[in-house]
Structures are given as structure tokens and as C-alpha cells.
Amino acid sequence: MSLEADFVVVGSGSAGSALAYRLSEDGKNSVIVIEFGGTDAGPLIQMPSALSIPMNMARYDWGFSTEPEPNLGGRILATPRGKVVGGSSSINGMVYVRGHARDFDHWSEAGATGWAFADVLPYFKRMETSHGGEEGWRGTDGPMHVRRGPRSNPLYHAFVEAGRQAGFETTEDYNGSKQEGFGPMEQTIHQGRRWSSANAYLRPALKRPNVRLVKGFARRVVIENNRASGVEIESRGGIQIITARRKVVLAASSINSPKLLLLSGIGPAEELRQHGITVVADRPGVGKNLQDHLEIYIQQESLKPITLHSKLNWVAKGMIGAEWLLFKTGLGATNHFESAAFLRSKAGVDYPDIQYHFLPAAMRYDGKAVAKAHGFQAHVGPMRSNSRGAITLRSPDPAVKPKILFNYMAHEEDWADFRHCVRLTREIFGQEAFRPYAGREISPGAEVQTDAELDAFIREHAESAYHPCGSCRMGRADDPHAVVDPQTRVIGVDDLHVADSSIFPRVTNGNLNGPSLMTGEKAADHILGRTPLPPSNQEPWINPRWQVSDR
């Protein structure tokens, strides 16, 4: 079989699957998607409540980790990325957040012209089928199904009511006109199953005769006469080239996309020369501008035995699993993140910069360190740190993992913001709505009070929310630190695009699956040379008190 197509897409994740679907939609173009990972079949990925399992399996995860983080006491943090059909959308927490309107306006101001909120909102609508979202603001017939959890546990409602009692806003749809406030959290779950980009986009695309999935490890982009002509892959022990008649598109993640550019001779010239790589395009921004969200878990003992603690024994888990396998219902059909909040940290901040995930259990993402009693927790962290890191090559050998350094908590305001998050969570858990439920504080513990004590706790316990992005920043074509232009074209090389979370100029407010899907959707129109969807004239809600109060 001929290994060539009009478009060659590297990566079947959120953006890659959306690209495959849209690039092949009219039947005129052939598309090959290269994916190193295997199948996403089976209950471990498809069952929503099993989310902590695939994220920690070498079979589904690239197994990246950071260098020792200097501001977190030299800790090495896990950086999971999906190595499976569907990419990270097959191992993520299934939380759906578009991001705030102001995030995208900032992108546009930073040089990503045509990516302001008015420009991206039509793509969010095109990709969604929203179940229960705000009318007029949400999509109704797109591939990506988005729903709310059942919120049958009273703690979900206590969290929202406590926020209201503390004087904060509530919102019925943070993905609608009003992000700010406490309200229901949205999930990429459909008919009881994880609704990954593989289920939403890739499987329907693969039913078309003009789309193929090729299993292989992408080693580098083949560039001839300054034009991307294909991708060199390792497959079944041999090296082969997949030829792109029109364009190569990297959608390989914020870790692997910059790595592939560097291996292909696109990046900071001096860095490439040190590895003996021939410089094709001197782009100092490749791998730089790396960002993420950090968060901490504030855990409280529950006075009532209503949390998920009683469901952690093998008998209960077996019953939950059986119900899910038979009916796709019950506690197996949710990610348990069913209440959320987006808040502003202080007066003078015009849109939310703190995110909460609420969980009626006291446990970690990896399922470890389960509290010994009934408890509940809030995951909380600031959204817009000024700390920036980098992805760099360790070796010119494609098989060697890159160096990842986020440089977390590099600014004094990062520490002040996190201390505020802890104290604010204590204020919320101290409201009347939690009176019947809230026992002692498990973590950090009531004895942790001073700035120094809180800083020590944060240094030891802050965890990545797994939202890496920004490492191939989009900007003006004449910006020396931009990697791609607003049409997602790699600056300095013809017929090569990057379209995934690596092109975000700045991390958006919330989880990144939604904006990554939107990026694939919008990039497809740019790559095909289509006129983008007409901009929206809808105006988002901004708190009228933003200049004088945080609530």
C-alpha cells in the first residue's frame, strides 16, 4: 500500500483527531494519521470512573517526567501524555472547559490574530453537542458530546451553596456567557462512556475511504528544499517515510511537537548545533514558553458516611463495575468531578484566575494516599502563573525522551496566589452549608497557618493539573520568538503546520482538552485555505464589581 496522502497528521489526540475528521470531510483529500500508541478498547479507558488507571499505565502513557523542579525542593513531577488512540483525551479526567473569553482575546493581542474569543466561539459551537448548556452559547450538533454529572451526592450542592454563602457568584454554565462563579462541572462523557476524541472524531473519520491510521513512531519531519514533504517513522522495526503531497501537520502534544521540530532542524540554532543537527530554520521559540497549571488538594474529613470512601473496597468496586459493564450507568459512568468554581483572586482582576474541582472523596489523581476516613476535597490552583519552562533535547536520538522543565513557582506572586487559594478554600469549607459535614481538616491540617508553613506545604504537595502547553507559541510571522503564525504554519518552513496545545500563547483558564479540540477544528480550516467561520458578536459576562471586590 502506498504510504502517501495529501495530509499527514502526527498524533491522534484531541487536535489530531479533529484535524483528521475535518480535513477529510468533503472526501476530496486523503489523510494519514500517525499514532504510536495502541487501541483504546476495553473498560480501563472507556469506563469514566477508572480514570486514574490508564493515566498511570506505561501501555497508555508516554511516561514523561520533569527534571528536578528547583522551586519545589527538587521534586520530579510526572507529566502524563496519552500514548494511545485518542491521545491524552483517552487518559484525561474528562473535564470540559472552554476557557474564558478574555483568554482568547489575550491570544489575539499577543499576535495570534484571528484567535480572539469572537473568532473561536463559532468553532467551540461547531464541535459541541451540549446537553444542558446555556442556549445560544453552546453547540447542538457537533461530534463532541458534553454533559453534566448527576450530582446525586449532597456534597456537590453543599460546595456550590457554600460559595454563594461566602459572597461569590453562581453560574449555571461556566462554558456559556458567564464563567465566574460556583456551579455544575461539565464532562466529556456520553452514554456512560468516556467521549474521547477517538470516539467523537477519529472513528467516524476512519469509516471514510480517504482516511488511514498508521501505527508508527514519528522520528522527524522530512524537509526538502525548505518544504515539509513527509514524516520519517519507525514501524515494525524498520524506518520508512510517509509522504505528504500537500502538508504535514504536527498534533503530537506540547511535549512531542517541539521535540519533533527540534529533531527536524527547526529550533534555536545553537541548541541544534550542540546535538549535531543541521539547522533548517533558526526559531529560538521552539520548546520555550512552556506552561502548566499547578494545584493542591485541600482535604476535609466528612462527619457523615456519604463520600466515595465506602466504595473503595473490592466488593463495592465489583458492583460498580458490573453495573457499568451491563448498563453504562451508576458510579462507573462519572469522573466524580461534578461541581466546580472559577473565581477572581482579588479586586482589580477582571476575570477568574482560580479554578476549583470538587470531589466527594479524599484521594489523589493516581488513586493513592486515600484518607483513612470519609472525606471530601477541593483541587485548587491559580490559572495564570508567569512562570515559564522549556522542552529541550537530551540527545539527537529520537528514542530518547526530551528534557522537561516547567520551572514552576519561579515568581513570588505564585506563592502569594497559592497561599490565598488555601485560605480561601478554608473559608468556603467553613460556611454554613458544610456545617453538617465538615470534620477536621486532613490536609494541609489546621496547624498549618503561617505563610512559611503554607509555603512548605505547597512546596512539598503541589501537583501538576496536567495542562502543559505553549511550547510552539503562535504569534505574528515577524515575531522572532513565535513558532507558528496565526494560520498555524511553522514560520520559515513551507507546508508544515503545528496544531495542538503547544501553540497556545498563554495557558487558558481551566482544563485544556476543550481548547485543544477547538484548535484542531479551526486549524483544519486554515490548512484547507477555507474562509474561517464568521466571528460571533456575543458578549461574555464580566463581573461589574471586578475593580472593587473579588466577589
Question: What pLDDT, in 10s, does the model give residues 436-447?
Answer: 999 999 999 999
Instruction: Determine if residue 511 is labeled as part of a ligand binding site.
Output: no
Q: Is residue 539 part of a domain?
A: no
CA atoms 84, 88, 92, 97: torsion sign: negative
Q: To which residue does cell 514501524 refer?
A: 235
Q: Is residue 353 part of a domain?
A: yes
Is residue 111 within 8 A of residue 94, CB to CB? The reply is no
Last residue within a domain, chosen from 423, 444, 461:
461
Q: Is residue 170 part of a domain?
A: yes
Whole-angstrom Cα distance, residue 202 to residue 214? Answer: 13
Confidence of residue 363 (pLDDT cuts 50, 70, 90): confident
Last residue within a domain, chosen from 421, 440, 461:
461
Query: Do 224 and 365 belong to one domain?
Result: no
Q: What is the pLDDT of residues 148-186, one digit of tens each?
A: 999 999 999 999 999 999 999 999 999 999 999 999 999
Confidence at residue 271, expressed as pLDDT on a 0 to 100 scale: 98
Confidence at residue 134, expressed as pLDDT on a 0 to 100 scale: 98
Query: Do 338 and 427 belong to one domain?
Result: yes
CA atoms 395, 401, 402, 407: torsion sign: negative
Which segment of 65-79, 212-226, 355-369, 473-487 scores lowest on mean pLDDT? 355-369
Q: Is residue 171 part of a domain?
A: yes
Instruction: Determine if residue 528 is labeled as part of a ligand binding site.
Output: no
pLDDT over 60 (residue 267): yes
Q: Is residue 395 part of a domain?
A: no
Confidence at residue 2, expressed as pLDDT on a 0 to 100 scale: 66
Instruction: Supply the CATH number for residue 335's domain.
Output: 3.30.410.40
Confidence at residue 312, expressed as pLDDT on a 0 to 100 scale: 83
pTM metric for this prediction: 0.98
Percent of the chain with pLDDT over 90: 96
Angle 207-49-317 from CA coordinates, rounded to 5°: 125
Instruction: Determine if residue 22 is labeled as part of a ligand binding site.
Output: yes
Query: Do 352 and 478 belong to one domain?
Result: no
Instruction: Determine if residue 273 is labeled as part of a ligand binding site.
Output: no
- Mean pLDDT confidence for 537-546: 98
pLDDT over 70 (residue 370): no
pLDDT over 60 (residue 338): yes
Query: Do 301 and 200 belong to one domain?
Result: no
Q: Is residue 394 part of a domain?
A: no
Confidence at residue 470, expressed as pLDDT on a 0 to 100 scale: 98
Query: Do 202 and 347 belong to one domain?
Result: no
Last residue within a domain, chosen from 461, 491, 522:
461
Confidence of residue 366 (pLDDT cuts 50, 70, 90): low
State the residue range of the domain holding 9. 1-98+195-286+469-530
pLDDT over 70 (residue 254): yes
Q: Is residue 475 part of a domain?
A: yes
Query: Do 240 and 309 belong to one domain?
Result: no
- Mean pLDDT confidence for 536-549: 98
Whole-angstrom Cα distance, residue 200 to residue 447? Answer: 47
Confidence of residue 367 (pLDDT cuts 50, 70, 90): low
Query: Do 351 and 454 belong to one domain?
Result: yes
Confidence at residue 373, expressed as pLDDT on a 0 to 100 scale: 84
Instruction: Supply the CATH number for residue 44's domain.
Output: 3.50.50.60
Query: Do 87 and 170 belong to one domain?
Result: no
Whole-angstrom Cα distance, residue 159 to residue 184? Answer: 10
The number of domains in the chain is 2
Confidence of residue 369 (pLDDT cuts 50, 70, 90): low
Mean pLDDT, the chain, rounded, equals: 97
User: How far is it between the farthest Cα atoms of the chain?
Assistant: 70
Backbone angles phi, psi at 331, to 5 degrees: -65, -15
Which residues sit opposite 441 in a β-bridge?
A: 300
pLDDT over 70 (residue 330): yes
Query: Do 258 and 242 belong to one domain?
Result: yes
Joined grid coordinates for residue 496: 508544515
Instruction: Determine if residue 92 is labeled as part of a ligand binding site.
Output: yes
pLDDT over 60 (residue 1): no
Query: Do 282 and 298 belong to one domain?
Result: no
Instruction: Determine if residue 11 is labeled as part of a ligand binding site.
Output: yes
- Mean pLDDT confidence for 45-64: 95
Whole-angstrom Cα distance, residue 189 to residue 47? Answer: 9
**Residues belonging to the active site:** 467
Under DSSP, the state recorded for 57 is -
Confidence at residue 372, expressed as pLDDT on a 0 to 100 scale: 78
Which segment of 117-126, 301-310, 486-495 scores lowest on mean pLDDT? 301-310
Helix axes 412-429, 451-461, angle to 10 degrees: 100
Which segment of 20-29, 102-111, 333-342, 371-380 scores lowest on mean pLDDT? 371-380
Instruction: Determine if residue 18 is labeled as part of a ligand binding site.
Output: yes
Query: Do 378 and 521 belong to one domain?
Result: no
Q: Is residue 392 part of a domain?
A: no
Query: Do 358 and 442 belong to one domain?
Result: yes
Is residue 506 within 8 A of residue 492, CB to CB? The reply is no
